[in-house]
Chain A
Amino acid sequence: MAIATIMLVDDEIPFVEAMTKRLTRKNLEVETAFNGSEALEKLTACRMTEVVILDVKMPGMDGIETLQAIKQRVPLVEVIMLTGHATVESAIEGMKLGAFDYLMKPCDMDHLIAKVTEAAARKRQHEEKIINARIKEITNRYA
């Protein structure tokens, strides 16, 4: 059983490839996308993804826009922003918009996995709460 199912979004293909290999080895289920819209498509198509690791600076739809769209369409998915140091401000803005956390590129693998684990746990917790609430609702209905 994998620790979590994540999606890596970055326009730098070699970076995504290298990261995928390393994260897979660390027992993570990794999906990839090379730009914002591709990520959105995949997220809405397959609801398995728990955590998105999102690069802030991307051509086309940038990280912030993608984040807003994700939070709108699949609100339960947690997003970790990935940034070079020049865009810390936008990472912080991302936090305000509902990102789980942000990490600086290049990032320490253990740190990243810890964050991903936390994020996935929170996502499952949220889902559990929702399921419990539903069960309660259903049982109340038939009580």
Chain B
Amino acid sequence: MNRKPIPLSPYYRSLTRNMVLLVMVISLTPMLLVTGIILDQFSTSHHEKVYAHLGELVLKHKQNIDSFLDEKVQNIRFLADSIDFGRVGQAVMIAEDLSRLQGAYGTVFVDLGVVDENGQQAAYAGPFKLEKADYADADWFKKAIDRPCYISDVFLGLRGSPHFIIAVRKTWQDRKWIIRATIDFLSFNGLVERVRIGETGFAYILNREGQFQTKPIFDFIPTLDIYIRYFSTLERMGKEVEIQERLDGTGVKSLYVSALLKGGDWLLVYKQASSDAFSDLRNAQIIAVIIFVFGGIAIVTMAVWMSGKMVRRIATSDNEKEIMNQQVIETGKLASIGELAAGIAHEINNPVAIMFEEANWLRDLIEDGAYKDEADIQEFERALNQIRTQGLRCKEITLKLLSFARKTDSRIEDLDIGHLIEELMALSAQRAKYSNIELVTRIEHDLPTLSASYSELQQVFLNLINNAMDAMDKTGGTLEISAKQEEGQILIGVTDNGPGIPKANLGRIFDPFFTTKPVGSGTGLGLSICYGIIEKMGGGITVKSALEVGTTFEIRIPVKTGEGQDNQTVAEPDTCN
């Protein structure tokens, strides 16, 4: 048998929703916080690490390149000291020097030349045909003639290939001479080219005009003002290395690590795409996001599944409780009917006793043969009338009882609360009489009809009336039931002036099985049943009690909307005794 799940009512649906939300918030919040904090911390420390590493790298290369250039200058200086300017015309002499240099330092030095103060190359050794070249107008010459040593920017020059020059000025016989050497562009480039990290990390050198001094691995056009800014930043701040992260020309976020070279003429820049530089961080982030997403899905699934299961179980147990309540109410009803029946039995016993005596009296008369004269016949008539009267009394009582017992189903119907109360009061009148209790009902006219179960409400009021009468059994008193309309509710008060309920018990009177009656006399279910019934109707029941003054139970039952009438006339109190 395949049991289809019963669709849950809105109450349970909202319960499910709340549980799911609660579980999700409680589980996801710490997860989110922990992941976020750890990622943030990791990101910060990773950035620091990468910055420190790159800064160190660039600084080391800056020193490398600076010391390379220094060394070359020193080489040439040393060479310049040994040159005999008297023999400058002879090419052989310089060639020897060049071969000495190349022997000592490899092919870094491409060629060597001696230039006089007019810019005429007096001697040259090297692979190019540059003897007698005129450098008078060359940029580098103009600068070199003014200072003891000079390193030029990279330029094409006369030979038409990129190179740069190291020039050393010497004074011999009051004339200035410049010894210049050309540095192999490829070997210098190699210094920078070797700086390769990851897939996109590379280095290049720029001069103050923003022109490349090395050949970058990836071809791009440098943005001049940005590099000029680097120059000024580094100079102003006095820092050796400047690290920035910004978008490059193609819109890729990149890291720029820069350092000044050659006493501030050149800028060594290391550039790497951020995504590449922080690839470890990215990996960690991706893993965290994946874990978070899967964890989140798992939590949500579990929350939905578990909540659904739990709510369904709650619904089932609520249902069972409802059935159990129904049974308890039924039991309680039987108990209160039993109590009522005892009262009724006594009530019916009186007319029965009268009828019994009258009948016996008639038999006595017959036995005496006294049925002939007028007086005897009148006595007969009187006795028979009395039996009739008492018979009618019995009938009245049984009718009341029947009308009470007939409405035993808990069907919801429109009912007149005033009528219900009057009916119960009539049933209880006999008992009240013998306990010296005055019954008072104050019921407003034209109370709106209630939508409720007649038998359940009967039970509520029967219980309350019975309790009040039990309380006043010994002493007598007044039991007043009032009903009025107030703010869309019907307000019913059941007031007695019995001994009251001690404070210690007041909080427990609605608990099931709580009773102050001796064992066997009370089930302790009456008020808890009342409470259950009234709560189920969306109303409320409260109690106020003062010792030696009395007790009031106040019941509020909501009226069906749209049927309220504003009639506030208070009925004249009906007294039945």
**Chain A interfacial positions (CB closer than 8 Å to B):** 12, 14-15, 18-19, 21-22, 25, 57-60, 62, 84-87, 105-106, 109
Contacts and interface: CB of A to CB of B under 8 A. Distances in A.
A62 B474 CA distance: 10
B346 A15 contact: no
A47 B433 CA distance: 31
Interface string B390-407: 100000000000000000
A102 to B, nearest CB: 14
A85 B350 CA distance: 11
A87 to B, nearest CB: 7
Given A14-B390, A22-B361, A84 B346 contact: yes
Given A59-B433, A86-B342, A86-B343, A18 B361 contact: yes
25 contacts: A12-B350, A12-B353, A14-B386, A14-B390, A15-B350, A15-B354, A18-B361, A19-B357, A25-B364, A25-B368, A59-B434, A59-B436, A60-B436, A84-B345, A84-B346, A84-B350, A84-B353, A85-B346, A85-B349, A86-B342, A86-B343, A105-B349, A106-B349, A106-B352, A109-B360
A138 B349 CA distance: 52
A109 B367 CA distance: 15
Given A84-B350, A106-B357, 10 more contacts: A12-B350, A12-B353, A12-B354, A14-B390, A15-B354, A21-B361, A25-B364, A59-B434, A85-B346, A105-B349
Smallest CB-CB A-B distances: 4 pairs: A106-B356, A84-B349, A18-B357, A106-B353
B517 to A, nearest CB: 14
B349 A15 contact: no
Contacts of A105: 349-350, 353
Contacts of A62: 434
Given A59-B433, A60-B436, A106-B352, A18 B358 contact: yes
Nearest to A58: B434
B345 A85 contact: yes
A15 B434 CA distance: 17
B279 interface: no
A14 B361 CA distance: 12
Contacts of A86: 342-343, 345-346, 349
A15 B353 contact: yes
B389 interface: yes
Name which of B343, B346, B353, B434 has the most chain A CB atoms within 10 A of its CB.
Answer: B353
B345 A22 contact: no
Nearest to A55: B350
Interface of B: 342-343, 345-346, 349-350, 352-354, 356-358, 360-361, 364, 368, 383, 386, 389-390, 433-434, 436
B359 to A, nearest CB: 9
Contact of A18 (B343, B386, B433): B386
Nearest to A26: B364
A46 B423 CA distance: 45
B346 A87 contact: yes
A94 to B, nearest CB: 15
Contacts of B349: 84-86, 105-106
Contacts of A106: 349, 352-353, 356-357
A98 to B, nearest CB: 20
Contacts of B357: 15, 18-19, 22, 106
A14 B389 contact: yes
A18 B354 contact: yes
A101 B364 CA distance: 26
A104 B38 CA distance: 91
Contacts of A59: 433-434, 436
B346 A57 contact: yes
A37 to B, nearest CB: 13
Nearest to B355: A106
Contacts of A21: 361
A69 to B, nearest CB: 16
A15 B346 CA distance: 14
Contacts of B342: 86
A45 B342 CA distance: 37
Contacts of A15: 350, 353-354, 357
